[in-house]
Amino acid sequence: MASQPDPQAPGPSGPLGSSAGGAVDAPLLGVARSLKGRAWRLVPVVAREAEALAQAFGLPDIAGRLLASRGVTLDTADAFLDPRLKAALPSPLGFRDMDAAVARLAHAVARRQRVVLFGDYDVDGATSAALMHRYLSALGLSPRIHIPDRLTEGYGPSVDAMRGFAGDGADLVVCLDCGTAAEAPLTAARDAGLDVLVIDHHKAPARLPPAVALVNPNRLDESGAGTGLAAVGVAFLVVAALDRQLRQAGTLPARGGPDLLGLLDLVALGTVCDLVPLVGPNRALVAQGLRVMAKRARPGLRALADQAGVDSAPDAYHLGFLLGPRINAGGRIGDAGLGARLLTTEDEAEAAAIAATLDRLNKERQQIEAAVLDEAAARAEMAGDRPVLVVDGAGWHPGVVGIVAGRLKERFDRPAVVLAHSDDGREAVGSARSIPGVDLGAVVIDAVAEGLARKGGGHAMAAGMTVALDRLDELRAFLDARLAGPVAAARADAALTLDGVLSVDGAGPELVAAVERLAPFGMGNPGPRFAVTPARVVKADVVGRDHVRLIVTGPAGGRLKAMAFRSAETPWGAELLAGKGRAFHLAGRLKRDDWGAEPKAELHLDDAAPAD
């Protein structure tokens, strides 16, 4: 007889509690409509499998349950808990054009050619360019990094840029995290006698641009291996294949030479910040990269961590929310090349100066973002209940539209497109963010093919585009028509899923330590989310710009801090602020609170519901 999902929800009597009863599809704790309008569901788990995992690997019961809920089995648990690169990474030579890319790079090394590394202006682009720069520099080359200015050049290679590189005497351009759809620029490069390699991961059109090699696991003619890799992960595989060929040819010694594993801190940073799934190869790359980063050997990352106040071993949260936004700030509102320069410099003073500049730019970016968000949210409210929000405005800084799109997506629970008008008022450039289950990148590529957008592309959860303003209404109608069904299905299945129920006393640092065995967390492997109940509010206030802080207590007298970020001006945040003395069910993720002499836990809230 097949095992069945455990129909029992852990109750609130202890760290996991005793059974609270109820069917899996019934609302957890009776929450059919929370303060944010969602039903709560318990993640179904086969109890026998969870117990077997906990016993086999000497884990707490909660860790076994969490592993089982992620589809981890006795056969795959060891690889999940201790991911190894050799077992997890696909063979580099299995990718189309990899052999041609390696041969062309090896030729550049042998002839000491002039190489330009053309990267995107986000963290994935900066880390990809820095990784390739560090490796080629170790081989004696002096590659030049070019990160395009977001305002004056836009995304990806341009015809003018390619002709300029050729005129400057470049022999080879390597496009990193861009170039897959750049047919006109790469045609111009070919006509100018300039070789181009493309190392990318964005969705590819049916017709590929002319390049010496185009390595992209998301080509339509690829096998499917490595489709979730960020561009920096693909770049690492290219470098690994090149390193192997150079050693086999005797160009490099069998031992010594460039340190490939020492580049994994860059791979981890770019992978986390590009929001690709942290499963399979990405999980191994990030896990190993975090260990490299913990050594603080790279001057730029060390200086940036100091600016961001990261004084403990880094984890995916530090990369995604503290380091990444600062590197992105240069590309958003300042000098787009700052991030790559920070990641390649060996000069401590230069690293400190760049890190300080990026920190300042990040603060400025936050102010600009807040102003654009206020306007964009007001226009989104006026758009009604359309499947896809498309808002545009004059005077909006193009460097923050992606962040604002993400905020609107979270607030309105649907894909959001935010477009900034050009100075001449003829077109708009912007970014889009999607919700799980809705592939936005593919539809943007189709919009370009239909002539509704001048250019655009991306992946399932994020995309960019340039649109003529007189075609904007047509684009809105196209997106609504194509995505109405997927958006409706995704939102209908958008109940808040929780991994268990805890008491306030059970939500302590010991449980956080057990949960961290499953890290790194991110897309594809989200941090476990728990309900903590009953939680009676003894203090509620606003900290920072608009964060709600709660101090709650349970029946046994334990206390817990809970944070609801960017929620003070929302309806659910207002109800929490007015909730002193009331009991709530709180839903969120437990984090370490290292402030103070003793380790504690705090709850980062996703939702709440009345419990009295």
Supply the pLDDT for residue 36: 92
Q: Please give the single-letter amino acid code of residue 280.
A: G
Question: Which CA distances in Å does 345 have to 79, 348, 556?
Answer: 35, 8, 54
- CATH ID of 88-358, from 3.40.50.300, 3.30.450.20, 2.40.10.10, 3.90.1640.30: 3.90.1640.30
The stretch 56-70 carries a mean pLDDT of 93
Q: Which range among 2-16, 46-60, 284-298 shows the weakest confidence by mean pLDDT? A: 2-16
The stretch 430-435 carries a mean pLDDT of 95
Nearest to 117 by CA among 158, 43, 179, 172: 172
Q: pLDDT grade, residue 545 (50/70/90)?
A: confident
Q: Is the pLDDT of residue 12 over 90?
A: no
Q: Is the pLDDT of residue 21 over 50?
A: no
Tens digit of each residue's pLDDT (9 = 90 or more) over 105-121: 999 999 999 999 999 99
The stretch 441-448 carries a mean pLDDT of 93
pTM score, two decimals?
0.87
Supply the pLDDT for residue 594: 75
Supply the pLDDT for residue 256: 82
Q: pLDDT grade, residue 304 (50/70/90)?
A: very high
Supply the pLDDT for residue 23: 40
Percent pLDDT > 90 in the chain is 85
Contact indicator for 314, 347 with CB cutoff of 8 Å: no
Q: How far apart are CA 411 and CA 120, in angstroms?
A: 28
The stretch 76-101 carries a mean pLDDT of 96
Tens digit of each residue's pLDDT (9 = 90 or more) over 253-282: 878 889 999 999 999 999 999 989 999 999
Topology match between the domains 88-358 and 383-492: no
Q: How far apart are CA 497 and CA 511, in angstroms?
A: 19
Tens digit of each residue's pLDDT (9 = 90 or more) over 341-395: 999 999 999 999 999 999 999 999 999 999 999 999 999 999 989 999 999 999 9
Q: Is the pLDDT of residue 451 over 60?
A: yes
Q: How far apart are CA 374 and CA 543, in angstroms?
A: 20
H or E, element range at 602 = strand 600-610
Q: Is the pLDDT of residue 22 over 80?
A: no
How is the chain split into domains, by residue range?
A: 28-45+499-610, 88-358, 383-492
Paired residues of 419 in beta bridges: 392, 430
> Residue 313 carries which DSSP code?
-
Nearest to 171 by CA among 104, 231, 99: 104
N-terminal to C-terminal alpha carbon distance within the chain: 42
Query: Going edge to edge, which strands form the sheet with 213-215?
Result: 144-146, 115-119, 172-176, 195-199, 213-215
Q: pLDDT grade, residue 474 (50/70/90)?
A: very high
Q: Is the pLDDT of residue 82 over 80?
A: yes
Sequence-distant (6+) residues with CB within 8 A of 309 are: 322
CATH tag, 28-45+499-610: 2.40.50.140
Q: How far apart are CA 398 and CA 400, in angstroms?
A: 6
Contact indicator for 490, 438 with CB cutoff of 8 Å: yes
Residue carrying structure tokens 């820095």: 130
Question: CATH fold of 383-492, please?
Answer: Diaminopimelate Epimerase; Chain A, domain 1 (3.10.310)
Tens digit of each residue's pLDDT (9 = 90 or more) over 196-229: 999 999 999 999 999 999 999 999 999 999 999 9
Burial class (CB in 10 A: 0-12, 13-18, 19+), 598: exposed
Supply the pLDDT for residue 492: 79
- DSSP string across 443-497: HHHHHHHTTSSSEEEE-SSEEEEEEEGGGHHHHHHHHHHHHHHHHHHHHHT-PEE
Burial class (CB in 10 A: 0-12, 13-18, 19+), 379: middle
Residue carrying structure tokens 């936004």: 325
Supply the pLDDT for residue 184: 96
The 3 state secondary structure assigned to 179-193 is CCCCHHHHHHHHHCC
Contact indicator for 414, 437 with CB cutoff of 8 Å: no
Q: Is the pLDDT of residue 7 over 50?
A: no
93 CB neighbour count, 10 Å cutoff? 12
The stretch 478-496 carries a mean pLDDT of 91
556 CB neighbour count, 10 Å cutoff? 11
